Amino acid sequence: MNVAAFPVTPPVATVLVVDDDRLNRVALAELLQPDCRVLMARDGASGLEILSREAVSLVLLDVSMPGMDGYDVLRAIRAAEDTSNLPVIFITGMSDAADEERGLLLGAADFVHKPIRPAIVRARVMAHLRLARQRNELEALASLDGLTGIANRRSFDEAMERAIRQTMRTGDVLGIALFDVDHFKQYNDHYGHGAGDEALRDVAARLHGFARRGGDLAARYGGEEFVLLLPGCANLEEVMDTFRQNISDARIPHERSATSNWLTVSGGGVVLPAMSPAQSREALALADQLLYRAKAAGRNRVLVERA
Ligand SMILES: [Mg+2]
């Protein structure tokens, strides 16, 4: 697996402490601060507000609070898409097993009891942070293409569905660009599969550089085909042609290409209009047709249409 090309540096974990008892909050913060960034909230509503804008790795949640209690907060955490898998450790003063059972059924990861025993709390928090990190790493690996280290087809499909839903809300256009390496079979036959793989990694890394903004995604679509998803991109043709030029400027020798002395790509792009209820499959089929036409028209070119 060549995933080292785009390493994800694990940031210092952020832990959110939600407890109406100030002394408890301060004690937990002091306990965890050597290893984590600690945020604090005095009630459920402000805890949820922090979760909506901060990347939190774990929540320590008091069960008994005025207003929203811990169960209500946990339910809201599980209901929100961004936090549905977030590990939550309940802090409880009650030694009643029924409360623990209720919390576990709602999806609490663990319990700590008041009065707090620092070594136990620390050990549990660290263990759950480690588990969450491992889970995230596995998820990241499963969403990357093994050869090139950029996103794979599966994560592209998910990103595409998300992007379409988002454009329905925001009214932004959505740019979808398919690229295919020209005469790649001849490249492999002539230079060998090792060189072919190297060329694909090079193309992927360059495409990755074109996914600059938050919702952008560069992915390997399959074989020597790549895709670029650009929400809000109105000048798709310009972007695609810049990438096409970038590849040909890289001057990767391709003696068996009928198009050029160098490796080139062709592209088909579609701009989905704002608020379009378009199906992703139809949009991709249109991009694929345009790619095919770009190939038929002589390759090393891009064709773009509005859907
Ligand atoms: Mg309390």
Tell me the pLDDT tens digit for each residue of 92-103: 876 667 777 888
Give the pLDDT confidence score for residue 139 in this predicted structure: 83
How many angstroms separate the CA atoms of 51 and 218, rounded? 28
pLDDT at 252 exceeding the cut of 80: yes
Query: What are the start-end ranges of the H helices in 10-117?
Result: 22-32, 44-53, 70-79, 97-106
139 is catalytic: no
When pLDDT is averaged across residues 184-205 and rounded to a whole number, the result is: 96
Q: Which domains, ranges and CATH numbers included, belong to the chain?
A: 14-142 (3.40.50.2300), 153-306 (3.30.70.270)
Greatest alpha-carbon pair distance for the chain in Å reads: 77
Give the residue among 287, 179, 289 at the shortest CA–CA distance from 227.
179
In this structure, are residues 207 and 226 in contact, taking their beta carbons and an 8 Å threshold? Answer: yes
When pLDDT is averaged across residues 227-234 and rounded to a whole number, the result is: 93
- What letter does residue 225 receive in the DSSP assignment? E
Residue 96, both tokens: 């009643």
When pLDDT is averaged across residues 246-273 and rounded to a whole number, the result is: 96
When pLDDT is averaged across residues 236-256 and rounded to a whole number, the result is: 97
Neighbours of 64 (CB within 10 A): 16
CA of 126 from ligand 1 middle (Å) equals 23
pLDDT at 7 exceeding the cut of 60: no
Q: Check residues 177 and 273 and name the one with the higher pLDDT.
A: 177
Give the pLDDT confidence score for residue 4 in this predicted structure: 43
* Helix, strand, or coil (residue 68): coil
When pLDDT is averaged across residues 94-113 and rounded to a whole number, the result is: 82
CA of 260 from ligand 1 middle (Å) equals 71
The structure's pTM equals: 0.67
Catalytic residue from among 137, 224, 225, 238: 224
Protein residues near ligand 1, an ion, with CB under 5 A: 20, 62, 64-65
pLDDT at 32 exceeding the cut of 50: yes
